[in-house]
């Protein structure tokens, strides 16, 4: 009996020792391995840094190899590069007109950015080490950095307070708008809605499973927001004649079909009448008229392209016409995103170019996985104004949400013209999040904490940026930095999403350095990693011959609008600055375009948060 009792005591003692050992702080919590070195524990209190192919060596991967030292010594800082690209307009005008120089610079932009993204993917939110599940399970978002260990002494590893500040307090003190701060680059609402509609095809968090999971079957630009994710939805949206999508004609113009005529599920509240329940590829696009506007434009473009293909290939059946038109629209989308959208957000005088052949002789993989950090980073709700102005009408959020009658009342031409004229907000710098989407700001931070993201400074180091040394260096001013310090205690403990929104903007820009230097690699890798950009796909025959190939290679935002919107309203992603007019000809129709347009940015409003 005594022996049994002694065994029980020993067993309890042994279990407690195991429990204490499992809860012991991992030495990797302090992120000792620098320059993308991988930390691996050795026992309960030891670690080893794997510096393989980092260009560094030493216990913590901090000593540069000779060639690495030369590279980092000669390489200008990202802010210096940005300054050069956004100044010296006359020099860039010359370079833009010299093909081999422009191609060489564009090739460098693509390769230098895309090589910062791990391919194949390395981590997901379930594991802080590489494993087969993280690679093969497509239901997870991938991760640029592993999650902070659950046994670490603080939420950011070893830095900062034992508990993170209240989400509500963070939003109220640091993010919530006091007064609308316009974007100094002149970004407009046309841009904001494009960003929102474009990203809804690959940012589709599965809220039932958690923030780590995506409902998207693909991890890139596949236009499922036009055609539907699943085949069942796609077939319900298809007309099954000449490759076209279903539609209805209202006042002589093409609009999406109704839910009752397709059987497609859409997310509409009960008060929306049947005749305003439009059915499109993305189930949440009934949320705001700006999304349904773009959905209607792409519906018209698909059917327009089908008419062109049918004329070129009368021998083709419905399936081949549909599939080829989809590939053409994917190509159009990528070209518009790079040459209009990314060009605008960059503010560069260097003219970006969509040319897949630039990468054919480079080390490049034509595949992509959407990263959780990219999804979080793209929550650009400060872009949104306090009200929406269309023609002579002003709509508040309550009047605007789930109101497709706005599109029918004003028509696409008035919407495009009005959204082009209305200014969007600045994203960086803090305190510009609209009160109307307060809960979305809270959800963004709550999901970030669920994902156990590492700190803003750890992500800066991962993307070759120097960590901020002080709060004032991060914010560029005193009042906000004092609030930030009170909440987080240590600049190395500032959360990823919060830090992105309070970071000081680049001079005259919509974003801070971190947003651009982390977002651009994810964006360009996702665009150029598309299968249609590969040598096997990028040829005229893929797109129905020269006619289809030309549609892609001449695509632009303005041309998309002119081909599908009555009266071809002049549009851009920025507010026009000058009243000087210049003639623009799109498909033989002449229009007046305004000069001296000032470039910039993007947005995204995640469907799971609304």
Residues noted as catalytic: 200, 378
| Contacts of 434 by beta carbon, 8 Å cutoff, 6+ apart | 177, 381, 382, 384, 385, 386, 397, 425
| Six token digits for residue 169 | 């307090």
Q: Hunting for tokens 């998207």 — which residue is that?
A: 216
For the chain, state the CA radius of gyration.
26
- Cβ burial of 16 (10 Å; 0-12, 13-18, 19+) is exposed
Contact 425, 432 (CB under 8 A): yes
Contact 514, 504 (CB under 8 A): no
Partners of 176 in the beta sheet?
433
- d(CA 80, CA 322) in angstroms, rounded, equals 47
Contact 72, 64 (CB under 8 A): yes
Residue 532's nearest CA partner among 519, 520, 541 is 541
Contact 598, 575 (CB under 8 A): yes
Q: What angle do CA 349, 353, 358 make, to 5 degrees?
A: 130
- CA trace torsion 28, 32, 38, 42 (10° rounding): -50
Partners of 245 in the beta sheet?
238
Partners of 40 in the beta sheet?
48
């Amino acid at each position: 009996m005594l022996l049994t009792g002694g065994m029980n005591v020993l067993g309890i003692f042994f279990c407690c020792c195991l429990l204490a050992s499992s809860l012991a702080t991992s030495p990797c919590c302090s992120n000792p391995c620098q320059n993308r070195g991988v930390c691996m524990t050795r026992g309960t209190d030891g670690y080893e840094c794997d510096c393989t192919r980092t260009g560094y060596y030493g216990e913590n991967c901090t000593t540069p190899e000779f060639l690495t030292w030369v590279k980092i010594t000669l390489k200008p800082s990202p802010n210096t590069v940005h300054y050069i690209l956004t100044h010296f307009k006359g020099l860039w005008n010359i370079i833009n007109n010299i093909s081999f120089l422009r191609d060489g610079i564009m090739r460098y932009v693509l390769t230098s950015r895309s090589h910062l993204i791990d391919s194949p993917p390395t981590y997901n939110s379930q594991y802080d080490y590489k494993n087969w599940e993280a690679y093969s399970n497509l239901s997870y978002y991938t991760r640029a950095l592993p999650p902070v260990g659950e046994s670490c002494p603080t939420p950011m590893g070893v830095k900062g307070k034992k508990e993170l500040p209240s989400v509500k307090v963070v939003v109220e003190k640091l993010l919530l708008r006091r007064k609308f701060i316009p974007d100094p680059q002149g970004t407009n609402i046309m841009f904001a809605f494009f960003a929102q509609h474009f990203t809804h095809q690959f940012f589709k968090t599965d809220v039932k499973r958690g923030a780590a999971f995506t409902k998207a079957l693909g991890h890139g630009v596949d236009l499922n927001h036009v055609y539907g994710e699943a085949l069942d939805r796609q077939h319900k949206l298809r007309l099954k004649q000449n490759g076209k999508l279903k539609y209805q004609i209202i006042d002589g113009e093409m609009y999406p079909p109704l839910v009752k005529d397709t059987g497609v599920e859409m997310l509409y509240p009960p008060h929306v009448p049947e005749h305003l329940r439009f059915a499109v590829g993305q189930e949440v696009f009934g949320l705001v008229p700006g999304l349904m506007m773009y959905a209607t434009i792409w519906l018209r473009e698909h059917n327009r392209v089908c008419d062109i293909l049918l004329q070129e290939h009368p021998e083709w059946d419905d399936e081949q016409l549909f599939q080829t038109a989809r590939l053409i629209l994917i190509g159009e989308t990528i070209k518009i995103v790079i040459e209009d959208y990314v060009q605008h957000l960059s503010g560069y005088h260097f003219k970006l170019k969509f040319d897949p052949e630039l990468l054919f002789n480079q080390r490049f993989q034509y595949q992509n996985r959407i990263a959780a950090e990219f999804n979080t980073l793209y929550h650009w709700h400060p872009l949104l104004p306090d009200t929406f102005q269309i023609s002579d009408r002003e709509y508040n959020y309550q009047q605007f949400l789930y109101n497709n009658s706005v599109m029918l009342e004003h028509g696409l031409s008035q919407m495009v013209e009005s959204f082009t004229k209305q200014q969007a907000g600045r994203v960086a710098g803090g305190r510009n999040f609209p009160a109307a989407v307060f809960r979305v700001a809270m959800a963004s931070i709550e999901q970030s904490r669920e994902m156990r993201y590492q700190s803003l400074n750890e992500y800066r180091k991962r993307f070759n940026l120097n960590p901020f040394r002080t709060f004032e260096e991060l914010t560029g001013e005193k009042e906000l930095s004092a609030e930030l310090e009170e909440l987080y205690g240590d600049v190395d403990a500032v959360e990823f999403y919060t830090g992105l929104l309070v970071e000081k903007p680049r001079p005259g820009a919509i974003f801070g350095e971190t947003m651009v230097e982390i977002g651009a690699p994810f964006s360009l890798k996702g665009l150029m990693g598309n299968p249609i950009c590969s040598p096997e796909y990028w040829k005229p025959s893929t797109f129905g011959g020269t006619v289809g190939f030309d549609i892609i290679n001449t695509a632009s935002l303005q041309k998309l609008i002119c081909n599908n919107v009555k009266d071809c309203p002049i549009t851009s992603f920025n507010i026009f600055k000058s009243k000087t007019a210049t003639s623009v000809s799109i498909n033989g129709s002449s229009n007046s375009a305004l000069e001296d347009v000032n470039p910039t940015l993007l947005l995204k409003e995640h469907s799971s948060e609304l």
